[in-house]
Amino acid sequence: MRSTTSDTTTLFSTEHGAVDWATDERLALTLGDREWLFQAEEIRTLHDALQPLAAQVYRCNCDCRWQVRLDGRETIVLSTDEVLRMHSLLDGAGAMLELYSTLDDASIAHSVA
C-alpha cells in the first residue's frame, strides 16, 4: 500500500495525535500518550465504529468515558475529548488511505514522505 522507506512515515497527523506507517502493512495510531497498532483495514473499521459514537458525543456535551469495541481487539476507553480527537484523526487517515488506494488502482506512483 505504501512506498517502501527505511523510516516511519506519517500517514496523517493532528495536534493531538498521528497515524504512522509502522511497517508496509501496519499503522501505529498515537493519541496523546497512548498508541495502538492496526492493519490498514482495521483503521477503517475503527473509524466506522467510532462514527456513531462521535455523533453521540457531539450531542451529549458532557465529560464522560466512552467505550469503543472492535472484534478480536481490546475495548478502547476514551474521554469525550479523546473520542472527538480520534474521530478527526481517523477521518484524515481514512481519506489518505482512500487516496493511496485510488492511486494504486490507477497505477500512479506516489510518495508518502
Q: Select from 26, 1, 31, 33 the least CA-distant residue to 13.
A: 31
Assigned domain for 20 exists: yes
Assigned domain for 52 exists: yes
Which residue intervals of 5-113 are DSSP H helices?
40-60, 80-105
Assigned domain for 3 exists: no
- Residue 39 belongs to a domain with what CATH number? 2.30.31
Distance CA 47, CA 77 (A): 15
Strands 26-31 and 34-39, by their bridges, are antiparallel
- Is the model's pLDDT at 79 over the cut of 50? yes
pLDDT of residue 94: 93
Q: Select from 22, 21, 32, 43 the least CA-distant residue to 85.
A: 32
Assigned domain for 83 exists: yes
pTM attached to this predicted model: 0.80
Beta bridge partners of 3: none
- Is the model's pLDDT at 6 over the cut of 80? no
Assigned domain for 59 exists: yes
Assigned domain for 4 exists: no
Assigned domain for 17 exists: yes
* Residue 110: all three cell numbers together: 506516489
Q: H-helix or E-strand containing 9?
A: strand 9-14
Domain limits for position 100: 9-105
Assigned domain for 36 exists: yes
pLDDT digits (tens, 9 = 90+) for 93-113: 999 999 988 888 887 766 555
Mean pLDDT of the chain: 86
Range from 5-14, 22-31, 36-45, 89-98 carrying the lowest mean pLDDT: 5-14
Look at 111 and 42; give whichever has higher pLDDT. 42
Count of domains in the chain? 1
For the chain, the C-alpha Rg in angstroms (whole number) is 15
